Structures are given as C-alpha cells and as structure tokens.
Amino acid sequence: MNIFNSTICSLTLALTFVTQQSFASPFFTFRSNTSVSSITSTLYDAPELLARANVNDGFNLPPMSYINNTTPVINDRGDVAFKVLSIESTQTQGVWGKLKTDPAGKIFVTAPDERFVTDPDLNNKGDIVYSLYDEGVTDGVFVFNLETLEETQLIDPSRFQIAYYTYPQILDNGTIYFRGTNEKNDRTVYKFLNNQLTSLFSEGQSVQTNNTKLPASYLFRPIFNQKGAMAIKMRFGKRYDWGEDLVDAIVLVGEDNKPVVKALDLDGDELSQFKGLSNTVSLNNLSQMAFIGFLADGKKGIYRANETDVQRVAFEGDTQISEIEYFMPKIIDNGDIYFRAKDHDGKRGIYLYTNDVVVRLIGEDDVVDTDLGAAKILWNKFYPGLSGDIDVNQNGDVVFHALLVSKDENREIGAGIFQILRKKANNENED
C-alpha cells in the first residue's frame, strides 16, 4: 500500500489533479519566509541540517571546507554520505558519512595527494563505494563501511584494461556496477562480484529500436536497482559519432541482460512525442523509470515508464512549475517521483509527484533551522541556492544541498547538507 494513501485520501477535497490544475496546499508545502518551527506538514518533518561548510566555521565539517554542487546519498535506514570537494582550504577531497544512529557525521575518507574522488554511492548495509582518480590515472574502486570503519580496495586497476571507473554503485548483496572507459575512449557497463569482472553492455552493441537494430555509440550514466536491472540513456550511431542529431533512447536492461527500448526521440521514431531525452534516468525495484522528456514546443516534462506505457506526471507551464531543471528525477518503489524545478517566481524547489498530484517540499527563500539559528536557503536569480542532485530512499526521506544566508539575508553562512524525513503513517511500525 502507498504509504501516503491515508493522508492523501483524507485531503481529497483539497487536492487538484495535475492534469487539470496545479496543487498548492499548506498541508504539504514549506512556505517561503515562514519559520520551519511553525510549519505543520502532514507528510514531512522540518528540514534537519546534517553538515555545513563555511570559511570561518562549520558544522560537522572543519572550517575552510568546500561542498558546493555536491550530491548527497541516503540509504533506506537513514545513513547519509557525500563528497567533500576541498578539506580545510586544501586540494584534498574526501567522503563524509553518518550512520542514522550517530549524533554527528564526519569525514571518514581522505583522498591521497593528487587524487580526486567520485560522488559516492551507499547501500543499505552502510557500504560507501567510490573511485579515486586523476587525469589519466585511476586507483580503482574502494568501499568504506560506516559500521566497521574499514576501507577496502575492491577493484585493483592493474588487473583490468580500464582507464576510468565512473558512476560506481553498490547493491546490498555487495555487487558493484560502474561504467568503465578504456584507453581508446570506449565505454562499457561492468558488474563486479566475487572478485570477477563481467561486461554487461558496450558501445558498439546493437539494440532493437522499432523495426531496426542500431549500434550504441554512447552510453550515458547507468542506474541499477537491487535486482540488477539497469536503466540507461543510449545514443545510437557509428563509433565516436555523438552528434545531437542521432537517435536517443531510454533503455531498460533487465536481469536477463536483454535491452528493451522504453522511449525514443523523434530521430528514431517519427511518431515519438519527444524531441529529446534527458541524459539521466532513475529506476526503482519494480523496474519503473523516471526521466525528463523534451517536447517539440520546447517544454519539458517528467515521465514515468513502466512495463506497458509512458505517463507524463509533471510539466512546465502549469500553475506551479515554470521550468524543470536538468537533474535526475528520482522514482521510488511506490511510484512517487521527486524532482527539481522552478516556480513562476524563478525560485528553485524540490517537488514530489504522488497520487496524481505535484507538491512542493522545500526550496529557495525558505527558512530553515541551522546550528547558527534560523537561516534562509539562498534565492538569487543569478546564482542557484539549490545545487547538485537530490537523493531519496524507499521511505521517501530526501537529502539535498543548499547555499545558506542569514535570515535577514545580510551575510552568507555557507553551504549545507539537509535531510527532510517523511513522517511515519499511523499504521506503520517503528523500526
């Protein structure tokens, strides 16, 4: 049962379906310029600051650290991790982590000199996976466990002819997936389990699109669910031909490793509704996908694809949303989709599609509690107050990055990582 059903049903008279009119309700929305402590949200607790980086001070981070544009991740039990781009004004990068049960998180992984770290992924056992690299150099793939505090190099690059390990992801069973690039600049999606590396799909392999088989010329970011199915955008054409006029597709590669096209753009299907498709796609454990589609009139929509059809769930130009931002929409197992968009004042926000309505959760110009007291998420038409991708776990808990200013907007107080936790329904048992 959808965890939000009981709440939604009780508010039926207040809801307006997105196909008819936008929805705005004080039951769901964190109102601008309203103190978080006065908000009585039906679905979510007030935002909680997990870490803050600033020049002269910090919260759960050392002063002079830098986290702008980082993308935090959260697992189903509430552990959180994110990349730190600079530690104490040095060029050293690291990975911050926090178990849900810990009162505070900290930097657990520090990259060696002259190495960068990829954005981490985090499974439900507290394993953080990441790759260390520099231009033309890779140290392979590592896992750090938040419970044992042990770091392990799982993939030694000396064993394989792979120059770059990008988008590493780790499942609960310990399987690691990533996109590898060789010295010839060819990309392959790999699976690593029990010390064995398996190639799943490579550029040059063909996929059935309508009545034609086409070779993939570019593989974008792959996303896996806990069953090992993959969602990915592919571009089709000759080797090293990556032009925008080529055929793009949203593809589901099932547990049987057979690719199935779920959406094609107009270059591949003259009857397609899509002029273009976003570069990233998300996937839940039921193999439903969420992606951004670009229409012929220039507007964008959020789409949900399942076994039988593709459904538009949000679109630009309604009475709430003026622009959908180019960040991955996140779909969870109950079919809810979380995404970033701007309202008609140009303020960026995090939105939720649930039970045929779109609701705003939080965004720029909203008041939030911090270690320094009440503050605001920056709203400046020339600079984003929200940055990076959001992440969502199966409970509907959200983590995000925001730039902060004092409540009177007279001074900057740094960048923060926040979580907003979905309230438990009355019929749910506590963990």
Q: Which residues are 388's β-sheet partners?
A: none
Instruction: Return the pLDDT at 61.
Output: 97
CA 208: distance to chain centroid?
28
Report, in angstroms and rounded to the nearest whole number, the Rg of the chain calculated over CA atoms. 21
Q: Read off the pLDDT of residues 72-109 as tens digits, 9 standing for 90 and up.
A: 999 999 999 999 999 998 999 999 999 999 999 999 99
Instruction: Return the pLDDT at 319.
Output: 77
- Count of CB atoms within 10 A of residue 417's CB? 28
Residue 275 in contact with residue 254, Cβ under 8 Å? no
DSSP secondary structure string, 95-120? EEEE-TTSSS-EEEEEPPTT-EEPPP
Instruction: Return the pLDDT at 41.
Output: 64
Listed by start position, the domains of the chain span: 17-44+273-363
Q: Which residue has the higher pLDDT, 430 or 29?
A: 430
Q: Read off the pLDDT of residues 43-62 as tens digits, 9 standing for 90 and up.
A: 899 999 999 999 999 999 99
- 410 pLDDT above the threshold of 90: no
Instruction: Return the pLDDT at 308.
Output: 87
Average pLDDT score over the chain: 89
What tokens were used for 244? 């925008």
Q: In the chain, pLDDT over 90 holds for what percent of residues?
A: 83
Residue 330 in contact with residue 319, Cβ under 8 Å? no
For 381, counting Cβ atoms within 10 Å of its Cβ (0-12 exposed, 13-18 middle, 19+ buried), the class is exposed
Q: Read off the pLDDT of residues 337-353 as tens digits, 9 standing for 90 and up.
A: 999 999 999 999 999 99
Q: Which residue has the higher pLDDT, 69 or 264?
A: 264
| 169 pLDDT tier (thresholds 50, 70, 90) | very high
- 215 pLDDT above the threshold of 50: yes
Sign of the Cα pseudo-torsion (23, 350, 415, 68, in order): negative
Q: Could you tell me which residues come within 8 angstroms of residue 245 by beta carbon, excluding any fewer than 6 positions away?
A: 267
